Structure 1
Amino acid sequence: MIDLFTPWTFKSLDLKNRVVMPPMCQYSVEKKDGIATDWHFVHYVSRAIGGAGLIIIEMTDVEPDGRITDNDLGLWSDKQIPALARIVAECHKYGAKVAIQIAHAGRKAEDAAVPVAPSAIAFNEHYKTPRALTTEEAKAMPEKYAAAIARAVKAGFDAIELHGAHGYLIHQFQSAYTNKRTDAYGNDLAKFGVEVVQAAKSVMPADMPLIMRISAIEYVAGGYGLDHSIALAKKYKEAGVDVFHVSAGGEGPIEAAGKPGTHAAYQVPFAREIKKAVDTPVIAVGRLDEPQLANAVIGNEEADLVAVGRGMLRHPYWALQAASELHKETELPRQYRYGFPSLMH
């Protein structure tokens, strides 16, 4: 039987357990230069000390106007590499592996003078109306992702995650709700995402896994459902995606007919269905903070990895506490051994 603390290996990624810290924006870049700060260092290294198997660094953007805010991380410059490399190296000391989420906010870039998007449709009345990318600009955008990913490889990351969820640029292209184009990128809603995946793979080591976060369903009226996301995932897998990180929503104002669940594990069925239909490993996320529940998701083989977001914001040592509650063996920093007597040998 597998459980939350069974090691997991895929290509070059060798995890000591199935616990993932998902990407969560900190909005903590101080000089608006996209460079990680001491806050980011302490924040991520704390979770490595706390026992997480995989840490995914927050949304990191491919160009300045691709950020949600000017206080977000970036990888459009070599100057941004050293601070991230320092975080990766320190996390490795505690047995954690580290990925980074590469993204472009598209129409949700709040501080851009004029955001760009597939079509000139604002997120809501409080957001700026974006400028539609020309066909030539859309063709060129994947190279910006590739350049950022090449820098991430130099920084020593163990895996790359592309952000194709939550209403950001790749999601905007793959949704009929936000993509009203009449060119090739409108005729094939997966085309942009496929080209980003191919560009990413062109600069990644062959044995480095590529993760893609996707929104399995949309919460707007008339938004796409699971059939569409499964079809997208099959195309993305063919292009080179190895693992899907399955979330939902984020594409527009939530409609009454499509409200997300508020119960525990409400997104796990989406992960399970994509895992089965696409035949790839998946990361489940969404109200999985209780160790017994997270363990059950793994034991029932509904997902390969479990991401614990808000729970890990509240408790940096969530994975150690989970091991203690579940009576599982895990690496324990000697300095903390008296805090977790059930893990002492």
Structure 2
Amino acid sequence: MSTRAAAALARPFTLGSAELPNRIVMAPMTRAFSPGGVPGEDVAGYYSRRAAAGTGLIITEGTYIDHPSAGDVESVPRFHGEQQLAGWQRVVEAVHAEGGKIMPQLWHVGIQRAAGKPPFPEAPSVGPSGIALDGTEGAGTPLSLVEVDRIIEAFAEAAQQAERIGFDGIELHGAHGYLIDQFLWERTNRRSDEYGNSRAKFAADIAAAVRERVAADFPVILRFSQWKADNYDAKLGADPEQLSALLTPIAEAGVDAFHASGRRYWEPEFPEHDAQLNVAGWTKKLTGKPVITVGSVGLDKVFGMDSLTGAVAGVESIERLLDRFERDEFDLVAVGRALLADPEWGQKVLEGRERELIPFSKDAIQTLH
């Protein structure tokens, strides 16, 4: 076993009622292999293989909550409906059988959904103010307070169902320009009501509603990002004070941990304030909550350079990541494309078998291997 990697990554971690066997997390990655939104045996096998090979916590691909405008792809899994939830229960059982832990990522795409898209083509595209990520006004329907309440309830109901069928916690997708993030970002949230006066309120209200519906120790994670799907330079907060103003009310509302998404985990978020801390490090410092870091771990090309479909991303050392772990900047690390390419990434890294790691290529996304 690689002594340094094991010392940093093989340590167990407790997050509420979830006893994680190590610090390695599978990042959520959309796969769209669930016809009718129902995850099948192939999906269960896909996740359980990674649990069996050293991934302590699986965070599933984004799964649509029960709102007609939540998604835009028929084969992306849903988190509502008898067949869909039964499929997810089989996924949970398969992961647990391999000693892993698993949480669903609950998702509403918001204004990124074009009207007319499946699985519910009659549903409108909705957002906080009807403003697209590029600032185009009138790109969708501004959400009424009635619909805001409906969506909050849908997130809470999904969380309750997740606990019922055996998941180990849930993650709210508040990153990359999707609905929760659209409320957090000043470009897409120009409301004049309470949800505009406090851009954190929507996320905080969801967290509070979820907390009311699940056990007190059932873990609730929020994934957030500064960057957006079409804007890598976007900032929710231009400095630590602004970021704290957004994250603190969400933490106080009941979020147990944050999943801070950066494109390059080694880049400082606010270099003029601290040349070391990345966005995850700042999140832990500002909120005091456990934090997952993510962003091109183990790869020599950052997210966006291959767009998940193009060039090969070679294997890169994780020594810089271990440096940060040893400074206690964050608590867990999420691995995306590297783990997509190599289900045994965790086991190989912990055992010092880095030379056996499989590089990422577009072939990795063609099947659930």
TM-score normalised by length of structure 1: 0.84
Post-superposition shift, 1:296?
Answer: 3.0
Kindly indicate whether residue 278 of structure 2 is the aligned counterpart of residue 274 of structure 1.
Answer: no
Residue of structure 2 in register with 1:284 after alignment: 293
Cα distance between partner residues in 2 of 1:20 and 1:208: 18
49, 54, 61: which one aligns with 2:57: 54
The 1:64–1:44 alpha-carbon spacing in structure 2 relative to 1, beyond 3 Å, is farther
C-alpha change, 1:229 and 1:27, in structure 2 (3 Å) is: farther
1:14 partnered with 2:3: no
Q: Show structure 1 runs of 5+ residues with no match.
A: 249-259, 328-345
AA aligned opposite 2:244: I
| 1:122 positional shift | 2.7
Cα distance in 2 for residues equivalent to 1:117 and 1:15: 35
> For residues 235 and 319 of structure 2, what CA distance do their matches in structure 1 show?
33
> In the aligned structure 1, how far is the partner of 2:133 from the partner of 2:225?
16
CA distance in 2, matches of 1:326, 1:3: 16
1:223 Cα shift?
4.1
* Correspondence for 2:363: none
Map residues 100-111 of structure 1 onto 2, 5 A cutoff: 100-110=104-114, 111=117
CA contact (8 A) 2:131 2:137 kept: no
Aligned-pair CA distance for 1:107 = 0.8
Query: Does the CA-based 8 Å contact 1:194-1:235 persist in structure 2?
Result: yes
C-alpha deviation, 1:299, in angstroms = 2.0
Q: Which letter does structure 2 place at the counterpart of 1:243?
A: A
Q: Give 3-state SS (helix, strand or coil) of 1:89's partner.
A: helix
Q: What whole-Å deviation, never above 9, does each CA across 1:73-94 have from its counterpart, x for those lacking one?
A: 1112233111111111111111
Report deviation, 1:49. 1.4
1:134 aligns with 2:137: no
Q: Is the 8 A contact 2:260 2:292 kept in 1?
A: yes
In structure 1, C-alpha distance between the alignment counterparts of 2:26 and 2:233, rounded to whole Å = 31
CA change 1:74–1:223 in 2 (3 A) is: same
CA–CA distance in 2 between the matches of 1:279 and 1:161?
A: 18
Q: What code does the residue aligned with 1:283 have? A: I
2:328 to 292, 301, 322: 301
- Does residue 1:224 correspond to 2:200, yes or no? no
Q: Secondary structure at the match of 2:9?
A: coil
Task: State the Cα distance separating 1:298 from its structure 2 match.
Answer: 2.0
Return the offset for 1:109: 2.1
CA deviations 1:33-72 (Å, max 9, x no partner) are 2211233112111111111000001111113420142221
Q: What is the match of residue 89 of structure 1?
A: 93
Q: Distance in 1 between matches of 2:185 and 2:198?
A: 10
Cα distance in 2 for residues equivalent to 1:127 and 1:316 = 43
Q: What TM-score results when the alignment is normalised by the length of structure 2? A: 0.78
**In the alignment, structure 1 residue 69 sits paired with structure 2 residue 73:** yes
Residue type at the aligned position of 2:163 = V
Aligned partners of 2:106 and 2:296: how far apart in 1? Answer: 24
- 1:174 positional shift: 1.2
Which aligned segments of 4 or more residues in structure 1 are displaced greater than 6 angstroms? 125-128
In the TM superposition, residue 236 of structure 1 has moved relative to its aligned partner by 0.6
Give the conservation status (yes or no) of the 8 Å contact 2:80–2:158: yes
CA RMSD of aligned residues (A): 2.5
2:251 to 204, 214, 237: 237
| Structure 2 counterparts to residues 184-333 of structure 1, below 5 A | 184-216=194-226, 219=231, 223-225=235-237, 226-227=239-240, 228-248=242-262, 269-289=278-298, 290-325=317-352
| Counterpart pick for 1:155 among 146, 154, 165 | 165
1:156–1:221 distance in 2 versus 1, CA, 3 Å:
closer
Percentage of matched positions with identical amino acids: 34
**Alpha-carbon separation, structure 2, partners of 1:222 and 1:291:** 27
Mapping 1:173-188, distance limit 5 Å: 173-188=183-198
Work out which of the residue numbers 3, 8, 19 in structure 2 matches 1:3: 8
Give 1:161 deviation, angstroms.
Answer: 0.5
Q: CA offsets per residue over residues 111-156 of structure 1, 9 Å max, x none?
A: 2542111112234599992111112211232001111111111221
The CA deviation at 1:11 is 2.0
The change in CA–CA distance for 1:34 and 1:315 in structure 2 (over 3 A counts) is: same
Residue 310 of structure 2 is matched in structure 1 by none
- Structure 1 position 324, deviation (Å): 1.2
